[in-house]
Amino acid sequence: MNPAELTLIVAAGGRSTRMGTDKRFLPLDGETLLAHMLRKGSAAGVHSIVLAAEGERSDLAALAEEYGAYLVTDELPAQGPAAAIAAGLAAAKTEWALVLSGDMPFYDFELVRALLPEATGDTQVVLPTISGYWQPLAALYRRDAGTAFAAAIARGDRKLGIILRELTVKELPLTVDAGIFFNVNTPASYRLALGRLANEHRTKPILSVAAPASGTGKTTFIEKLIPLLAARGVRCAVIKSDSHGFNLDTAGKDTARFTAAGAEAVAVSSPDGYFIQQKTKTRQDFQNLIANIIPNSVDLYITESRSRGVLPTFMLDRGLGMPEIDERVAACFAKERSIDTDVLTFDLDDMDTAVRLALFLMGRPLYGADGEMFLTM
């Protein structure tokens, strides 16, 4: 069997209770979250696509038509993913179907090839697991499994764990990037998704570290983060914003004499590196400075500033000023107070979480303990 023999069922219920708004239509990389999944699915070479949603809407019908999907709706409202699976399998055109949640922007359809060989014999569900966590909304289902889901819903059972125990399930432990199964369920997880997608469009990823006031500990935070990233094979370059002007020359040295004589730029080359000091009439954008760093020597650019961070930004807070929580902020690290926002907030000294978030935001694969937090958001 190959992907062309599968029906793709995109489960897109629509209640979005944890998000507070209909997440299916959240803007994401120039399209909506649901359109992002449908576009990737239509490019994956599957036999057909079923969009399973709760209730009919004209915008859902338009999306289904755009991507050649067949729209089905739950027979009973408020039954969750179980109803989407039941309705989707009832409409499937093939013996096997891949059921995916519509809120998984980083799902890799190549993973399906690891599941297909297990879809044999009496097996009704090929259920991937990662770090012990079931992934029932990224699993293969045989079409006749839909009967069990419909019967369970009719008797009032809608928990996937209960229904799956009535079926012949083949669990398939995988050692893959946990980010593949990342769900956009909350405003905080949406921020992380936007930050990771922003980096996908860059030649090399960027992470900004910002704070509302001097003395918060930006330098110390970055100083701790760099060796943790290095231990995971990430080479960092740091670009610092300075509001007061600077002079790296030492009086009497050749470079200082050249500058004093009127040189607009001075460069020093040595066997183990080089240095350029360039006069400018205006502050240079981070991107212009990044272009001057040898790209093959760096995996991640970290920028440090008070207010000039880019998406994604870690905002630090030590109570010395009011943090500006805008769309660039992916997570906060705070001390002595809780930031009442829709942003993930951790202790300022929680560097284990900081390095895991940094790896996620730069698109690095996350395995084992590094990836578990992204399976439970």
The yes-or-no verdict on residue 246 having pLDDT over 60 is no
Per the CB < 8 A criterion, the answer to whether 41 and 111 are in contact is: no
134-138 mean pLDDT: 97
Query: Residue 231 has what DSSP assignment?
Result: T
What tens digit of pLDDT does each residue of 314-371 get?
A: 999 998 888 888 999 999 999 876 666 789 999 999 999 999 999 999 999 999 999 9
Domains belonging to the chain, first-starting first, are 3-181 (3.90.550.10), 187-241+283-372 (3.40.50.300)
CA dihedral 289, 290, 295, 298 (to 10 degrees): 120
The distance from CA 179 to its chain's CA centroid, rounded to whole angstroms, is: 6
Per the CB < 8 A criterion, the answer to whether 102 and 67 are in contact is: no
Six-digit token pair at 71?
A: 């729209």
Q: 274 or 272: whose pLDDT is higher?
A: 272
CB proximity list for 36: less than 8 A, separation 6 or greater: 28, 29, 105
The CA distance from 198 to 361, in Å, is: 9
Per the CB < 8 A criterion, the answer to whether 220 and 304 are in contact is: no
Confidence category of residue 253, pLDDT binned at 50, 70, 90: confident
Confidence category of residue 1, pLDDT binned at 50, 70, 90: confident
Please report which residue ranges of 130-207 form alpha helices under DSSP H. 145-154, 160-164, 187-200
The CA distance from 311 to 206, in Å, is: 8
Cβ count within 10 A of residue 7: 23
The yes-or-no verdict on residue 256 having pLDDT over 60 is yes
The yes-or-no verdict on residue 243 having pLDDT over 60 is no
Confidence category of residue 76, pLDDT binned at 50, 70, 90: low
> How much of the chain, in percent, has pLDDT values that exceed 90?
69
pTM of the model: 0.89
Q: Report the 3 state secondary structure along 60-120.
A: HHHHHHHCCEEEEECCCCCCCHHHHHHHHHHHCCCCEEEEEECCCCCCCHHHHHHHHHHCC
Measure Cα distances from 160 to 82, 157, 368 in Å.
6, 9, 24
Residue 300: name the closest of 184, 199, 152, 213 by CA.
199
What tens digit of pLDDT does each residue of 14-31 get?
A: 677 889 899 999 999 999
Q: 148 or 80: whose pLDDT is higher?
A: 148
> In the prediction, which pLDDT does 63 show?
95
300-305 mean pLDDT: 91
Confidence category of residue 188, pLDDT binned at 50, 70, 90: very high
Q: 271 or 133: whose pLDDT is higher?
A: 133
> In the prediction, which pLDDT does 322 show?
86
The CA distance from 310 to 317, in Å, is: 17
The yes-or-no verdict on residue 65 having pLDDT over 90 is yes
The CA distance from 93 to 74, in Å, is: 18
Burial (Cβ within 10 Å: 0-12, 13-18, ≥19) of residue 73: middle
The CA distance from 88 to 8, in Å, is: 9
The CA distance from 110 to 98, in Å, is: 12
The HSE-up count of residue 13 (CA atoms within 13 Å, CB side) is: 20
187-204 mean pLDDT: 95
The yes-or-no verdict on residue 254 having pLDDT over 70 is no
164-183 mean pLDDT: 97
CB proximity list for 14: less than 8 A, separation 6 or greater: 22, 24, 53, 54, 55
Q: Average pLDDT over the chain, rounded to whole?
A: 89
165-191 mean pLDDT: 96
Confidence category of residue 214, pLDDT binned at 50, 70, 90: confident
Per the CB < 8 A criterion, the answer to whether 347 and 330 are in contact is: no
> In the prediction, which pLDDT does 281 show?
67
The yes-or-no verdict on residue 278 having pLDDT over 90 is no
The CA distance from 344 to 331, in Å, is: 5
The yes-or-no verdict on residue 174 having pLDDT over 70 is yes
Q: 308 or 155: whose pLDDT is higher?
A: 155
The yes-or-no verdict on residue 258 having pLDDT over 70 is no
> In the prediction, which pLDDT does 245 show?
58
186-206 mean pLDDT: 95
Q: 120 or 341: whose pLDDT is higher?
A: 120
